[in-house]
Amino acid sequence: MKFLKGYDNVTIFLTYGLLAFGILVIYSGAVNLAVGQLIFAIIGSLIFLLTVQTDFRFFYKANFLMYVFVILLLILTIFVGTPIRGAVRWIDLGIFALQPSELAKPFVILTLASFFSTFQINNLKNILLSLAIVIVPVLFIFQQPDLGNSLVLLAIWASMFFASGVRLSYLAGMGALAIGTMPVIYSLLEDYQKQRLLTFLSVNDPLGAGYNVLQSTIAVGSGQLFGRGLGLGTQSHLLFLPEFSTDFIFASLAEELGFVGALILICLFLIFIWRGFSLAGEVSDQFGALVIVGVFAFILFQFVINIGMNIGIIPVTGITLPLISYGGSSLISTLFSLGLVVSITKHRKN
């Protein structure tokens, strides 16, 4: 690929290795979903290629317009969004449903990177302004309700806030504030979200709120060392395992490919994430470095939370596994984000 000469080919290889892994697992569970994911992958790849060929400093100039655009989409979702299982998170575009909360991730990353690289962060006013940048979309996403992506945006802010060189005293203060607001956040949760948390803490209600986690852990355990084989997972094919192509795709993978397959996936992700944060340290441009931190922070956060809830050690929050789980908006958003990373690596020595 001559036109990608000079870019970070390791990141590109790992990106498409994980993407192929995801499509394979989705195919084993539902051929029609795999076809849809392949189409989204092609669209996302075109956006990826366009992004890597664009000087990343263009996005430094355009970040505010992108931020305003996604806020307008989140507002529009309130009025024209399509309700699915009690949640209003998608805008029906006819050919597919757009989830603006997924687009919010790269757009918020760009805006925060611009802010942190422009203003002195060791200043209470600027800290609160940076927090406001992320709180605005979080409030819209939280009321959809979508706790998972709300937490992802907050994790993005926390990681970029830390990477910007903030004083430890400010960092400790924000941590204390986060802990102090937990009771308020809990009171704002929907009843089913509270029930998920209570079920996790008390390990009960196997036929109700605890059903998903129970079936997920059964699927993971039944895979044993080498798995049942692709397409032979009983938990997903007999529909015992809910959301087997999205939230619980890791459990589906573990059942069919076993401990070995799950370990290979985890190792690929760890190498991928390590590579990403290493690249951030090689970039001399602060804006570019912070963008890379933000992108791999959300990949790391979703990786930990998704696998954690699949094996029953973290409450269910509806967070997907990047590049692996089925979902057009998520895949396109992730490929755009990684396109930014690869574009930045082209200029990392300048």
Closest by CA position to 148, among listed 317, 303, 312, 300 = 317
Residue-level pLDDT at 193: 73
Query: Angle, nearest 10°, between helix axes 328-346 and 286-310?
Result: 140
Residue-level pLDDT at 91: 94
Residue 176 to residues 33, 155, 165, 169, 193, Cα–Cα distance (Å): 43, 15, 18, 11, 24
Residue 339 to residues 51, 59, 292, Cα–Cα distance (Å): 5, 12, 10
Identify the DSSP state of 196: H
Distance between CA atoms of residues 90 and 76, nearest Å = 10
Token pair of 232, please? 């032979």
CA angle 294-321-292, nearest 5°?
A: 15
pLDDT tens-digit map of 277-286: 999 999 989 9
**48 neighbors 338 (Cβ within 8 angstroms):** yes
Residue-level pLDDT at 205: 58
Residue 179 to residues 151, 172, 185, 208, Cα–Cα distance (Å): 14, 11, 10, 29
pTM tops 0.85: yes
Number of domains in the chain: 1
Low-confidence residues of the chain: pLDDT under 50: 1
Residues with Cβ within 8 Å of 62's Cβ and at least 6 positions away in sequence, in order, are 110
Residue-level pLDDT at 4: 59
Using only the alpha carbons of the chain, give its radius of gyration: 20
Which range marks the domain in which residue 137 is found? Answer: 2-346
Half-sphere exposure of 229 (CA within 13 A, CB side): 1
Residue-level pLDDT at 306: 95
**9 neighbors 332 (Cβ within 8 angstroms):** no
Token pair of 231, please? 């397409």
Residue-level pLDDT at 83: 87
Half-sphere exposure of 237 (CA within 13 A, CB side): 15
Q: What is the dihedral of CA 303, 156, 71, 341, to 10 degrees?
A: -80
Distance between CA atoms of residues 238 and 111, nearest Å = 44
Buried b (16+ CB within 10 A) or exposed e, 311-332: bbebbbbbbbbbbbbbbbbbbb
Residues with Cβ within 8 Å of 283's Cβ and at least 6 positions away in sequence, in order, are 289, 292, 344, 345, 347, 348
